[in-house]
């Protein structure tokens, strides 16, 4: 896919690319931003996660700036998972455990 290869090759100083053509084909607004996914502490996490929205697919390498449509950045930021967190006052009490939502792919974003 041209969109996947294009996004992987974009460097921070390359803000003029054919990404506009890909965005028109998938019904996006035409606005872009740069994102950088942080490394994961989980060994099972992929180093290059795959994302897709409206038929637009992209593989993003962690720790590198990549220009993507703002809709894709919003989608990635919205992904979350729920973890159990112990109570600070009673960490050993299983009845005091609460569920906390955390971002699935923490990222840095610049427009």
The larger pLDDT score, comparing residue 75 to residue 88, is at 75
Domain residues of the chain, as ranges? Answer: 2-78
**Quick check: 13 pLDDT over 60?**
no
Quick one: what percent of the chain has pLDDT higher than 90?
33
Q: Are strands 32-37 and 56-59 parallel, antiparallel or unpaired?
A: unpaired
Rg of the chain over Cα atoms, rounded to whole angstroms, equals 17
pLDDT digits (tens, 9 = 90+) for 32-83: 999 999 987 777 888 899 998 888 888 999 999 999 999 999 999 999 989 8
């Amino acid at each position: 896919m041209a969109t996947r290869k294009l996004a992987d090759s974009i460097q921070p100083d390359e803000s003029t690319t054919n990404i506009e053509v890909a965005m028109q084909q998938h019904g996006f607004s035409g606005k872009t931003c740069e994102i950088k996914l942080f490394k994961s502490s989980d060994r099972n996490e992929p180093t290059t996660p795959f994302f897709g929205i409206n038929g637009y697919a992209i593989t993003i390498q962690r720790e590198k700036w990549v220009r993507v449509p703002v809709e894709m950045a919003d989608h990635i930021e919205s992904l979350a998972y729920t973890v159990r967190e112990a109570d600070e006052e009673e960490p050993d009490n299983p009845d005091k455990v609460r569920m906390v939502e955390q971002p699935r792919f923490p990222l840095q974003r610049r427009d």
